[in-house]
Structure 1
């Protein structure tokens, strides 16, 4: 994810070879330090992780899933799924407006499209 401007300092904290159970640390938006654990790992096809620790109490649960699939007519489909449950403190404001989160997500998507040359 080095192509995403909003992410920095990503590094694995588990020894290679990496797979299910691998841990990683990364920083989002220069202030949210995350520790992640991979729960699914298919090299070159699919990775999924959950956040096990966050520097700010924004979410009770957070996870991501990446899936890369070849298309019959050529090319590749990249499906990136985010799932989260905000903390009780943020649940109501998040339901009303999630402008910062939505803006960050748009940046991640734009950076990913630019990196892979997608339209």
Structure 2
């Protein structure tokens, strides 16, 4: 048996290559795929402001997102809402500066008003 085994894995790549790969992914994909995978990825992730500058809230809000956003929500400055569920836990985003609402349907004033009241 060979004493030297080749161990290959994404987590063995240098930070520069990982960051270059992340350039092709959305913030959501990076968070879902790499956050809490290991301490190195967490540290690298938290150092990259670009990843969290703008965040699209997922349509299915699960315990994974609740836990992840409670850890990193303070870094998110822009939140993108692309679904009809506007009952967003805005308390997870204390440094939120803007909200982008994107909908293929008309958004009633009451919904916008409720969002604004929920954020203050």
Normalised TM-score (structure 1): 0.29
Greater Cα radius of gyration, structure 1 or 2: 2
TM-score (norm 2): 0.28
More helix per residue? 2
